[in-house]
Amino acid sequence: MSLVIRLTRTGKRGERKFRVVVKEKRSKRDGGFLDLLGWYEKSPDNSKKKIDMEKYKHWVSQGAQPSATVAELVK
């Protein structure tokens, strides 16, 4: 079972809200997930985010690979 840390889309149409989650690599973008790590909200004015770094580091140590977008958010 390969794990990935990625974004899933939430919210109404036209809103850019995402959850940062841990899930299996083969599952759908908005399917079920194993753990919720935080959220990210993108807006034209500014971007807001909150990511639990302790959970993030735990899952990375367990072998979960962050997506390119999540890796940029964590920097």
pLDDT at 16: 86
List the strands of the sheet with 65-66, edge to edge.
Answer: 47-51, 35-42, 17-24, 3-10, 65-66
- The token pair at 29 is 């973008």
**Cβ pair 25, 33 in contact under 8 A:** no
**Which domains, and CATH codes, for the chain?**
3-68 (3.30.1320.10)
Res. 13 pLDDT band, cuts 50 70 90: confident
Residue-wise DSSP of the chain:
--EEEEEEEESSTT--EEEEEEEETTS-TTS--SEEEEEEEE-SS-EEEEE-HHHHHHHHHTTPEEPHHHHHHH-
The structure's pTM equals: 0.86
Res. 15 pLDDT band, cuts 50 70 90: confident
Instruction: Summarize pLDDT for 18-55 with one digit per residue, the tens.
Output: 999 999 988 887 778 999 999 999 888 888 999 999 99
